[in-house]
Amino acid sequence: MAEVVNLAVTGMTCMGCAGSVKTALEEVDGVEAVEVTIAPGKAVVTTGADVSRSILISAVMASGFGIEGETSSDSGYNWSDGAVWKQSAHNTKWCLIGCSIGDFGTIAAFQFVFTDSGWSTMSIMMLAMINGLLTSIALETAILSKQMGLFEGFKVAIGMSFISMIAMESAMNITDYLMTGGAMLTWWAIPIMLFVGFITPWPYNYWRLKKFGQACH
């Protein structure tokens, strides 16, 4: 269900300022529409239900403008925003699902099907990481295509944070190697790999969402 958030924006003096605020808010994941006026300084934002007001405030302040009644100490960057932690966890979860499909699928294929392939452990892990990135992008494209069409969904998915996905893939495969000694899936190692893969990029995803209003997923 869509929600409307009204923000009293300070510091805007021209249409260029209004355009900067509008662009900053439109780049926040989950924002559906933005209207900005200079006199009075106001932004009316239509969002999905899971977009917090604090994320919108952070996006405006990151673009160089202020919010009436808010100060940088109140709404600037910090590590204590529960709503952002919750949303970044949700985003990280979808990244993890997408990456795990390709990553675990590749390792399983070499472990149970192509057992005599001759590929080294490092080669299998590198291929698993690449396939994990591809399946994550494919999953996000499928999700986003329901909102914005296939082509636009793919453009957004391909432009999402590779830092987060690479950190996730690296963490999972390093954990696998340290625990099993090779590219192997075992019932006791998989939950640990998923846990490490989740928590490794989560703080970065929080920072990116809190400071810039941009999600990893």
pLDDT digits (tens, 9 = 90+) for 146-159: 766 788 778 777 77
Q: Which residue has the higher pLDDT, 210 or 216?
A: 210
**Tokens standing for 101?**
């499909």
Q: What is the pLDDT of residues 64-111, one digit of tens each?
A: 788 887 655 444 567 887 777 887 898 899 899 999 999 999 999 999
Query: Rounded distance, CA 147 to CA 47, Å?
Result: 13
Residue 121 backbone dihedrals phi, psi, to 5 degrees: -60, -45
Confidence (pLDDT) at 216: 65
Average pLDDT over residues 38-62: 86
Average pLDDT over residues 119-142: 93
pTM of the model: 0.71
Q: Which CATH architecture has domain 3-75?
A: 2-Layer Sandwich (3.30)
